[in-house]
């Protein structure tokens, strides 16, 4: 499980952690903790709390965070892969003597 989480948070090439992936996870966890906190406060005050209204009030809620975060990371990784492929196909300049 640890390797799965570590590999999910690492960027292309698995040489270092990717800030975008880490922020994506932090945002998702913050959304879930915020929902639980607001629900607990509402219940403690005797108020009604609808998790559906809370989620849709944030523009689709967690689904939006996951979809847009995944799309952004995918676009970035494709750009990195394209740049790496371009650099790999260019022949190194021969030194002039």
Give dist(CA 54, CA 60) in Å, integer.
Answer: 9
The model's confidence at residue 82, banded by pLDDT at 50, 70 and 90, is confident
Q: Is the dihedral of CA 77, 82, 83, 88 positive or negative?
A: positive
pTM of the model: 0.63
Would you give the DSSP letter of residue 59? S
In tens, the pLDDT along 23-81 reads 888 888 888 888 889 888 988 999 888 877 777 776 666 777 778 888 888 888 888 88
pLDDT digits (tens, 9 = 90+) for 38-54: 888 988 999 888 877 77
Look at residue 61 in the predicted model and tell me its pLDDT: 67
pLDDT greater at residue 36 or residue 90: 36
């Amino acid at each position: 499980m640890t390797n799965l989480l570590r590999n999910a948070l690492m960027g292309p090439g698995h040489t270092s952690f990717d800030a975008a992936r880490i922020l994506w996870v932090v945002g998702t966890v913050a959304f879930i903790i915020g929902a639980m906190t607001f629900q607990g406060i509402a219940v403690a005050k005797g108020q009604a709390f609808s998790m559906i209204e809370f989620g849709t009030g944030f523009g689709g809620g967690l689904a939006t965070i996951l979809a847009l975060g995944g799309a952004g990371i995918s676009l970035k990784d494709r750009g990195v892969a394209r740049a790496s492929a371009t650099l790999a196909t260019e022949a190194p300049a021969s030194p002039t003597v």
